[in-house]
Amino acid sequence: MKKVCIVGASGKLGRYMVRHALDKGYEVVGVCRKKSVGKLDAFRDRITIIPGATNDREVIRQAVADCDGVLVVLVPWGMHDYASGTARAVLDFAEPEARLVFSCGWHISRDGQDVYSRGFKAIEKAATWIGRALRVVDIRDQVKACRMIFGSDTRWTVVRGSDLEEGESEGLPVWSRHVGDSVLASNKTRRIDYALFMVEALGNDALIREAPAIVGCKSPSALEAPSALERTGT
Ligand SMILES: NC(=O)c1ccc[n+]([C@@H]2O[C@H](COP(=O)([O-])OP(=O)(O)OC[C@H]3O[C@@H](n4cnc5c(N)ncnc54)[C@H](OP(=O)(O)O)[C@@H]3O)[C@@H](O)[C@H]2O)c1
């Protein structure tokens, strides 16, 4: 892995990914909205920034050229297919052999085998309804984006994040194929470690065409159920 594009580089997750990717010695190209370029000032001299909407096909075509890896923050903002437009452009324009790693939440299910608590389902339903009513967030478009990725024959990974918190790194999160696995019960991951998992996934072929649901490696459920874990890189 030499050159990596980070789509959505200026957000909280994106900036952590920029830092991890630079730490690994990768050349980094970041895509972010024009108004957010300043949020990348700390990295200005070390990365190439391509300003623009992440669902702008021309912006993505230019950004992913010659990249061995593409890290994509999939966000369902607005009512104009932002997440699915971003995913479509990345799938269409990334180099054929590139590793593509997308972020989303536990609410995305690849095979319908995930088991969600009543509370989780209620929150998701409310968020979907409120987001659409206010026309600010369209969670169904993130679902559409992931369906598109799951149907693709590219070298993708969809990393499904638990609830996130800030704080120092605890190490690489652990993962399971299905929400409902006891190892995930704590439902908490440090955002810095979510970013670490995304960047490490670029070099982990075992995660190709997987949709790992992750949780912090130091969370109580991860510590209590070590035998149930499917670990990356260990
Ligand atoms: N938050 C959680 O608890 C949680 C839980 C599980 C999974 N996840 C997943 O983690 C990823 C990162 O989420 P995050 O919550 O941590 O946020 P984040 O990293 O701060 O990312 C938010 C992204 O959305 C962009 N954005 C914000 N407002 C926008 C708008 N109106 N139009 C277009 N783009 C806009 C931001 O760009 P700018 O820098 O330009 O504002 C940024 O790239 C997502 O894939 C999410 O599904 C989050």
What is the average pLDDT value for the chain, to the nearest integer?
95
pLDDT tens-place string over residues 129-187: 999 889 899 999 999 999 999 999 999 999 999 999 999 999 999 999 999 999 999 99
The pLDDT value given to residue 227:
54
For ligand 1, what atom is nearest to the CA of residue 73? 45
Distance 14 CA to ligand 1 centre (A): 9
23 Cβ contact partners less than 8 Å away, ≥ 6 residues apart? none
> Using CA positions, which residue lies closest to atom 9 of ligand 1?
104
| pTM of structure | 0.96
Structure tokens at 131: 């987001």
Residue 214 pLDDT > 60, yes or no? yes
- Ordered by start, the domain boundaries in the chain are 3-228
pLDDT tens-place string over residues 48-85: 999 999 999 999 999 999 999 999 999 998 888 999 99
Please count the other Cβ atoms lying within 10 Å of the Cβ belonging to residue 189.
Answer: 26
Ligand 1 — pocket residues by CB below 6 A?
8, 10-14, 32-33, 36, 39, 73-75, 77-78, 82, 103-105, 161, 163-164, 191
DSSP state for residue 47 in the 8-state scheme: S
Answer CATH for 3-228 from 3.30.420.240, 3.40.50.80, 3.50.50.60, 3.40.50.720: 3.40.50.720
For ligand 1, what atom is nearest to the CA of residue 103? 45
Contact 67, 98 (CB under 8 A): yes
Contact 145, 90 (CB under 8 A): no
Residue 232: pLDDT band (50, 70, 90) is: very low
pLDDT tens-place string over residues 75-105: 998 888 999 999 999 999 999 999 999 999 9
Enumerate the β-bridge partners of residue 230.
175
143 Cβ contact partners less than 8 Å away, ≥ 6 residues apart? 107, 108
Q: How far apart are CA 110 and CA 137, in angstroms?
A: 21
The pLDDT value given to residue 79:
87
The torsion angles phi and psi of 7, rounded to 5 degrees, stand at -95, 115
Mean pLDDT of 204-223: 97
Residue 226: pLDDT band (50, 70, 90) is: low
